[in-house]
Amino acid sequence: MKRRQPGSSWRRFAIGFPYAWLVAFFLAPFLIVLKISLSQTAIAQPPYTPVLDLAAGWRGVTDFFNGLSFENYGLLGSDPLYLLSYVKSIEIAAFSTLMLLVVGLPIAYAIARTPRRWQAIFVLLVALPFWTSLLIRIYSWMNILQREGPLNDLLMGLGIVKEPPAWLATDTAIYIGVVYSYLPFMVLPLYASLEKLDESLLEAAADLGCPRWKIFWLVTLPLSSSGILAGVLLCFIPIVGEFVIPDLLGGSQSPMIGQTIWTEFFGNKDWPAASAVAVVLVFLLVTPIVIYQHQAMRVAERD
Amino acid sequence: MRKMSAVNVAALVLGLAFLYIPIAVLVIYSFNASRLVAVWGGWSTRWYAELFNDAPLIDAAVTSLRVALASATAATILGTLAALALARFGRFRGRLPFAAMIYAPLVMPEVITGLSLLLLFVAIAVDRGFWTVAVAHTTMAMCFATVIVQSRLADFDTSLEEAAMDLGAPPLRTFVSVTLPLIVPAIVAAWMLAFALSLDDLVIASFTTGPGTTTLPIRIYSEVRLGVKPEMNAMCSIMVGVVGAAVIIASLFVKLTGSRGAAGR
């Protein structure tokens, strides 16, 4: 596309303004987190040392670098609390992503098979809960899952359980909350790729006598793998860092990593430790994205 | 051949039931007359009436709406410019890091976004409050706005814009009179998403707010973290109703203006 030079001030503005904003409010803050993760806790305002003192000239800069240490990262390795919350976060994210796939796939598939003019309505119906506050949706589960709540009433009424089980403050509640909250994130990308599926391929398989479940397994699933991958990433990554769901529905004995950062920060006021936990989490999450990008580029090259 | 099997219908019905029953339960319980949430005491609107006497809650709601208005507007402007830069300006120096910074916040856990912005605000020693929350929400939401507007820009080809330029329209003029009218539905959708994200956010606001500025989610969170409260059922039902109505109206609007694919997520 050819561009003429005279209007380049508009072009500079359209690129420069959002660029500057992101550098100031996304990149710079992250560099500060990185820096503070290498600092030590101090009883001061701000509660960490060293503080970069540019007024002291070169002396200030060297003092600053000499004051940095990897101590906080050592702490992450030595205190099992941190390790356990990383493991717990990844465990919950992995299992709930799997559950989301199992629950989401039939729904996405069913929407893709409804008459075309209805599909937009079903997509809207799936997306609508996402627009309402996550806090509210999780809170609605607190209503349902409480000991004298409707779920236990139903289970007791049907005679499935004798004693009302405690749902809140368990991992089961976290799984319910996560699957509920992230279902739109799984169904919508799956639907997007299933909807593009060439039906003649399915018909060909059926004409050749392939049973329905086998068509699904051998034709539908492989052809929708891009949607599956997108859905898995869209769910897995944010679930790892989730705070609201485990905090309201889960127990306090084994926190997820988002809760650990929150407690270190607000409870223990240990900013350097919170920053170190955050930096490790970012690298943990960046890895699957880089792998995904790499895969996507290989696919693009192949085509 | 589009036949739905019984399994398909069951999946659809059960899936939608799973999505909507909790919200329905919330709304039904908000009309429960009993203070004990679990005990049904007949229909009543007393909790809605009590909301209006809860001055701190109303303050928080007003604060949230103001933050959402400011940040959604700023995020939509920034996001539209960024989308234009990514979709129309070809290669420019620093495009790759720019794209990375647009997409990274989409998957960044809110805890980390909030923490890092707070540390920035502390480092530059600004008083935290309304504006710091608004800036934080703008940063988070502009990336979503970019994605929506960008997908709309990718939907139509550049020939109209090129025609305008060939006829001598300068780039800014081309944008205002050709591109902008075409992407209005996406801009509306982006603004609404940014508004909803801001209204919804608890974590980033908790980190970046200061004394005296309490948003609605912060208020609701501090009320409900110890258990279910009937007033909160009423408050949440109102929010669900407002957001639901807004989204449905917006979808109709997008449909009626004859555009497709703009509602995005």
pLDDT tens per residue, range A150-159 = 888 888 888 7
CB-nearest partner of B107 from A114, A122, A238? A238
Q: Which residue of A has its CA nearest to B251?
A: A124
Q: What is the least distance, in Å, from the CA of A281 to any CA of chain B?
A: 9
Domain assignment present for residue B171? The answer is yes
Query: Please, are residues B97 and B161 in contact by the beta-carbon 8 Å criterion?
Result: no
Judge whether B47 and B233 are in contact, CB under 8 Å. Answer: yes
Residue A179 is which amino acid?
Answer: V
Whole-number Cα distances in Å, B37 to A147, A155, B48, B90, B232: 11, 18, 14, 58, 11
* Cα gap A264→A243, rounded to integer Å: 13
How far is A261 from A271, CA to CA, in rounded Å? 9
Contact between A136 and B26 using a beta-carbon 8 Å cutoff: yes
Predicted confidence at residue B60, as pLDDT, reads 93
Q: Are B98 and A22 a contacting pair at CB < 8 A?
A: yes
Pick from A128, A199, A248: CB nearest B244: A128
Q: Cβ–Cβ contacts within 10 Å for residue A271, how many?
A: 24
Whole-number pLDDT of residue A2: 46
Helix (H) or strand (E) holding A260: helix A257-262
CA distance B136 to B205: 8
Residue B236 lies inside a defined structural domain of this protein? yes
Mean of pLDDT values over A201-216: 84
Please tell me the distance from the alpha carbon of residue A260 to that of residue A271, in angstroms, as a whole number. 12
| Any domain includes B6 | no
Q: What percent of chain A has pLDDT over 90?
A: 22
Residue in A with minimal Cα distance to B8: A110
A6, A18, A109 ranked by CB distance to B78: nearest: A18
> Burial of B227 by CB count in 10 Å (0-12 exposed, 13-18 middle, 19+ buried)?
exposed
Per the CB < 8 A criterion, the answer to whether A274 and A281 are in contact is: no
| Single pTM value for the model | 0.85
Instruction: State the pLDDT confidence band at B260, using cuts at 50, 70 and 90.
Output: very low
Residue boundaries of the structural domains of chain A: 78-302
Inform me whether the pLDDT recorded for A60 exceeds 70. no
Residues of B in contact with A125 (CB under 8 A): 16, 19
pLDDT, greater one: B44 or B255: B44
B19 closest CB neighbour out of A146, A183, A199 = A183
Which residues in chain B have Cβ-Cβ distances shorter than 8 Å to A238?
107, 109
Residue matched to tokens 């069951």: B10
Q: Do A128 and B247 touch (CB under 8 A)?
A: yes
Domain tally, chain B: 1
What pLDDT is recorded for position B264?
A: 40
Q: How far off is chain A from B25, nearest CA to CA, in Å?
A: 7
Q: Do residues A279 and A34 touch, judged by C-beta distance below 8 A? A: yes
- DSSP output for A55-104: GGHHHHHHHHHHH--SHHHHHHHH-HHHHHHHHHHHHHHHHHHHHHHHHH
Check whether domain A78-302 has CATH 3.40.980.10, yes or no: no
* Span A271-300, average pLDDT: 80
Whether B90 contacts A3, CB under 8 Å: yes
How confident is the model over B184-188, as a mean pLDDT? 88
Whether B26 is covered by a domain: the verdict is: no
Q: Which residue in chain A is spatially nearest to B11 when comparing CA positions?
A: A107
Residue B169 lies in a domain: yes
Q: Give the pLDDT of residue B118.
A: 93
pLDDT at residue A209, rounded to an integer: 84
Contact between A273 and A72 under an 8 Å Cβ cutoff? The reply is: yes
Categorize the per-residue pLDDT at B116 as very low, low, confident or very high, splitting at 50, 70 and 90: very high
Length of chain A as a residue count = 303
Closest approach of A141 to chain B, Cα-based (Å): 6
Domain limits at B72? 54-256
**Percentage of the residues of chain B whose pLDDT score is greater than 70:** 94
B42: which 2 tokens? 């007949």
Question: Does residue B198 lie within any of the structural domains?
Answer: yes
Q: Please give the pLDDT value at position A176.
A: 94
Nearest CA in chain A to B242: A132
Q: Is A214 exposed, middle or buried (0-12, 13-18, 19+ CB in 10 A)?
A: exposed
Of B107, B122, B224, the CB nearest to A139: B224
Q: Can you give the pLDDT at residue A43?
A: 59
Cβ distance A265 to B244 less than 8 Å, yes or no, reads no
Across the interface, of B90, B112, B233, the residue whose CB is closest to A1 is B90
Which residue type, as a one-letter code, is found at position A16?
Answer: G
**Range with lowest mean pLDDT among A13-17, A80-84, A236-240:** A80-84
CA–CA gap between residue A40 and residue A203 (Å, rounded): 65
Q: Span B1-26, mean pLDDT?
A: 85
The residue-averaged pLDDT of A165-171 equals: 83
The chain-wide mean pLDDT, for chain B, equals: 86
A66 — pLDDT class (breaks 50, 70, 90) = low
Domain of B135, CATH number, reads: 1.10.3720.10
DSSP state of A43: S
**Residue A130: what residue type?**
F
Contacts of A103 in chain B (CB under 8 A): 15, 18
Q: Which of A170-184, A278-292, B149-163 has the highest mean pLDDT?
A: A170-184
In this prediction, residue B193 has a pLDDT band, given cuts at 50, 70 and 90, of: confident
Q: What is the pLDDT of residues A111-140, one digit of tens each?
A: 988 888 888 889 888 988 888 888 888 988
Residue A40 bridge partners (DSSP): A49
Mean of per-residue pLDDT scores for chain A? 83
Mean pLDDT of B11-25: 91
Helices (H), B108-229: 110-123, 130-155, 159-166, 171-174, 180-200, 203-208, 216-224
Q: Is residue B265 part of a domain?
A: no
In A, which residues are within 8 Å of B105 by CB distance? 26
Q: What integer is the mean pLDDT of B160-172? A: 85
Mean pLDDT on B207-232: 88
A132·B244 Cβ contact <8 A? yes
Size of interface A-B (CB pairs under 8 A): 252
B59-79 pLDDT tens trace: 999 999 999 999 999 999 999
The residue in chain A having the minimum alpha-carbon distance to the alpha carbon of residue B12 is A107
pLDDT, mean of residues B197-216: 91
In a domain, B237, yes or no: yes
